[in-house]
Amino acid sequence: MSDKVVEVKNVYKSFGKKKIIKDLSFSVNRGEIYGFLGPNGSGKTTTIRMMVGLIGIDKGDIFIEGYDVKKDKIKALEHIGAIIENPELYKYMSGMQNLIHFARMSKTSVSQDRINEIVKLVKLEHAINKKVKTYSLGMKQRLGVAQALLHKPSILILDEPTNGLDPEGIHELREYLRYLAKKENISIIISSHLLSEVELICDNIIVIQEGKLIGERTIKNENNNLQEKLDVEIEVDNIDLAKKLVNSVGTIKVEKNRMVISLRRDEIPLIISKLIDGGLKIYEVKQITQSLEEVFLSMTKEEK
Last residue of a domain, one of 166, 196, 218: 218
Domain stops at, among 218, 245, 266: 218
pLDDT attached to residue 223: 44
Q: Is the pLDDT of residue 156 over 80?
A: yes
Tens of pLDDT, residue by residue over 185-194, are: 899 999 987 7
Number of domains in the chain: 2
In this structure, the answer to whether residues 166 and 254 fall within a common structural domain is no
Q: Are residues 210 and 245 in the same domain?
A: no
Q: Is residue 78 a part of any domain in this protein?
A: yes
Please tell me the distance from the alpha carbon of residue 219 to that of residue 201, in angstroms, as a whole number. Answer: 10
For position 222, what pLDDT does the model report? 45
* Residue numbers of the domain that contains 233: 229-288
Q: Is the pLDDT of residue 151 over 80?
A: yes
For the cut 90, the answer to whether the pLDDT of residue 62 exceeds it is: yes
Within a domain: residue 224?
no
**18 and 149 belong to one structural domain:** yes
We report the CATH number of the domain holding residue 45 as: 3.40.50.300
Q: Do the domain assignments include residue 172?
A: yes
85 and 233 within one domain: no
Same-domain pairing of 245 and 194:
no
Q: What is the DSSP string of the chain?
A: --SEEEEEEEEEEEETTEEEEEEEEEEEETT-EEEEE--TTSSHHHHHHHHTTSS--SEEEEEETTEETTTSHHHHHTTEEEEESS----TTSBHHHHHHHHHHH-SS---HHHHHHHHHHTT-TTTTTSBGGGS-HHHHHHHHHHHHHTT--SEEEEESTTTT--HHHHHHHHHHHHHHHHHH--EEEEE-S-HHHHHHH-SEEEEEETTEEEEEEE---TT--TT-EEEEEEEES-HHHHHHHTGGG--EEEETTEEEEEEEGGGHHHHHHHHHHTT--EEEEEEE---HHHHHHHHHHHT-
| Within a domain: 296 | no
Q: What is the pLDDT of residue 1?
A: 57
Quote the pLDDT of residue 302.
62
Same domain for 66 and 17: yes
Contacts (Cβ under 8 Å, ≥6 apart) of 25: 8, 9, 10, 11, 60, 213
Please report which confidence band the pLDDT of residue 127 belongs to, taking 50, 70 and 90 as the band edges.
very high
Does the pLDDT at position 218 exceed 80? yes
Look at residue 251 in the predicted model and tell me its pLDDT.
59
Asked if residue 150 and residue 204 are part of one domain, the reply reads yes
Q: Are residues 59 and 195 in the same domain?
A: yes
Label the pairing between strands 212-218 and 187-191. unpaired
Per the domain annotation, does 298 fall within a domain? no
pLDDT of 288 strictly over 90: no
Asked if 94 and 130 count as a contact pair (C-beta separation under 8 A), the reply is yes
CATH code of the domain containing 263? 3.30.70.100
pLDDT of residue 228: 61
Query: What is Dmax (Cα atoms) for the chain?
Result: 74
Angle at 179 between CA 197 and CA 221, to 5 degrees: 60
| Nearest alpha-carbon partner for 107 in 87, 67, 71, 80 | 80
Look at residues 178, 193, 218 and tell me which one is the last residue of a structural domain: 218
Asked whether residue 295 is domain-assigned, the answer is no
What mean pLDDT is predicted for residues 18-47?
A: 92
What own/partner pairs with CB < 8 Å and gap ≥ 24 does 124-128 have?
A: 124/95, 127/95, 128/94, 128/95, 128/96, 128/99
Is 80 a residue whose pLDDT tops 70?
yes
Question: 241 with 204, same domain?
Answer: no
% of the chain exceeding 70 in pLDDT? 92
124, 207: one domain: yes
122 and 266 belong to one structural domain: no
**pLDDT tens digits, residue range 227-276?**
467 788 889 999 888 888 887 666 578 888 888 888 887 888 888 888 99
Give yes or no: residues 165 and 254 share one domain. no
- Structure confidence at residue 67 (pLDDT): 94
Residue 303 in domain: no
Query: Sorting pLDDT into bands at 50, 70 and 90, what band is 157?
Result: very high
Q: Is the pTM of this model over 0.85?
A: no
The average pLDDT across 274-285 equals: 90
pLDDT of residue 195: 82
* Any domain includes 153: yes
